[in-house]
């Protein structure tokens, strides 16, 4: 999976609790992305980063925040988890204008 | 805005037969097109891409894709399907304006089932 790890790989949490997912890369790629995958919706972009401390919103950013304090790590935080955020979350990396490479995913269940 | 459509949720094909997974796109500028494959409980794997040049692009595992600008299509093809090709396939596009520094936009995916 192209030097990308995600942690945790599985998580069950309760509604209203904060959750942080971590993406770590060893490729030194400039761009990092968070997507969620849901049946019937494909992959939808949550947030992305184009450099340390440089981030932008995607199409489904409400309820999510991100941080990137160093090149290799990109954190996704659900500030107060809801059942609608039950999903599989994928991190991806790329160099500008090149293809994206994906991590193995995190399966999050909000009960 | 850029978008991708995969008109078929499911494609079934017999092993040994040719397969086609369809994709159409919409961008304001010139497109940068991709195909990815996802096996169960795995992340997406890059198969092939089109930037410019020859309209027929060859990729991993014997797959190829044909870019058709007039039909705004980028269909994925393989001459002879294998049972192991059964997976979920995603088409994606990036607009090449702004040096292409925008995230990929993905289609909703097409599930391919190859029947022995």
Higher pLDDT, B42 or B16: B16
B96: nearest CA in chain A?
A97
Does B49 sit within 8 Å of A99, measured CB to CB?
yes
Residues from chain B that touch A92, judged by Cβ atoms under 8 A, are 44
Residue of B95, B96, B103 to mutate, interface with A, max A Cβ within 10 Å:
B103
SS3 string of A16-40?
A: CCCEEEEEEECCCCCEEEEEEEECC
- Residue B23: which pLDDT band, with cuts at 50, 70 and 90? very high
Higher-confidence position of B43 and A78: A78
Tell me how close the Cα of B88 comes to any Cα of chain A, in angstroms: 10
Cα A32 to Cα A4, A58, B16, B27, B79: the distances in Å are 10, 12, 39, 22, 35
Q: Is the pLDDT of residue B99 over 60?
A: no
A80-102 pLDDT per residue, tens: 999 999 999 999 999 877 889 99
Q: Do A42 and B107 touch (CB under 8 A)?
A: yes
CA gyration radius, chain A: 13
Mean pLDDT of the B46-74 span: 94
Q: In this model, does residue B39 exceed pLDDT 90?
A: yes
Alpha-carbon distance B90 to B105, whole Å?
10
């Amino acid at each position: 999976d192209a030097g990308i790890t995600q942690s945790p790989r599985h998580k069950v949490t309760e509604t209203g609790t904060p959750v942080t997912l971590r993406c770590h890369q060893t490729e030194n790629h400039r761009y990092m992305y968070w997507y969620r995958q849901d049946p019937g919706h494909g992959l939808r972009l949550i947030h992305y980063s184009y450099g340390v401390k440089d981030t932008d919103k995607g199409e489904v950013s409400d309820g999510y925040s991100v941080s990137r304090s160093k090149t290799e790590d990109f954190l996704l935080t659900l500030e107060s988890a809801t059942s609608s955020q039950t999903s599989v979350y994928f991190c991806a990396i790329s160099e500008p204008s090149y293809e994206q490479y994906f991590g193995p995913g995190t399966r999050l269940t909000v009960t | 805005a850029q978008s991708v459509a995969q008109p078929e949720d499911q494609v079934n094909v017999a092993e040994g037969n040719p397969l086609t997974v369809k994709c159409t796109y919409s961008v304001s500028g010139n497109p940068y097109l991709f195909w990815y494959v996802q096996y169960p409980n795995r992340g997406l794997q890059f198969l092939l891409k089109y930037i410019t040049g020859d309209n027929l692009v060859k990729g991993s595992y014997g797959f190829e894709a044909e870019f058709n600008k007039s039909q705004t299509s980028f269909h994925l093809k393989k001459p002879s399907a294998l049972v192991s090709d059964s997976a979920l396939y995603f088409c994606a596009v990036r607009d090449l304006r702004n040096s292409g520094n925008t995230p990929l936009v993905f289609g909703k995916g097409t599930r391919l089932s190859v029947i022995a």
